[in-house]
Amino acid sequence: MSNRIIATEVPESRRLDFMPEAFTPCMMMRAEGLVFHQASLLARSYSGAYWDFFTLSNGGFYLAPRSDRRFEVQVEGNGFEGDVSADAFGIIVTLFVYGALVWVDDEALREKYSDHYHQLRAFAVEHDEGGAILRAID
């Protein structure tokens, strides 16, 4: 029996439920804006995309742009520069978003976003591009 964390793409029929579940109804618009803003900060070549949603078997969530291309990521805060898949880019972006949201003025939401950050980070450790993801968020 494997303890690996499994990512499952959210089907079209459940897309409307994803953002309120992952970020809460009151914060989903803010979170969506943060995703697009963070993506444009991390990859100069990012100019918008259709984003897929994923749930994790450990209770976590993430978003990733639907794309076959790779993204050149630059993180000013830690000097990371690397070429990653769209999936890894989405994980990096989502981790940065959860990291920003842990500063909200609501203890229950801070705990929720902290839990989601750690659930996604645990998945990132197992990801094929885990080393790059971890270096990007360091």
Residue-wise pLDDT for 76-94, tens only, equals 989 999 999 999 999 999 9
Residue 50 lies in a domain: yes
User: Domain tally for the chain?
Assistant: 1
Q: Evaluate whether residue 100 is within a structural domain.
A: yes
Per-range mean pLDDT, top range of 18-32, 50-64, 96-110: 50-64
| pLDDT the model gives residue 49 | 87
The predicted model gives 50-69 an average pLDDT of 95
Q: Which of 85, 66, 71, 63 is nearest to 42 (CA)?
A: 71
Determine, yes or no, domain membership for 24.
Answer: yes
2 is a domain residue: no
**Range(s) of the domain holding residue 131:** 7-137
pTM for the whole structure: 0.94
Instruction: Confirm whether 1 is domain-assigned.
Output: no
> Is the residue at 91 inside a domain?
yes
| CATH number of the domain to which 48 belongs | 3.30.70.3580
- Report the C-alpha gap between 119 and 20 in whole angstroms: 17
Contact 84, 133 (CB under 8 A): yes
Whether 119 is covered by a domain: the verdict is: yes
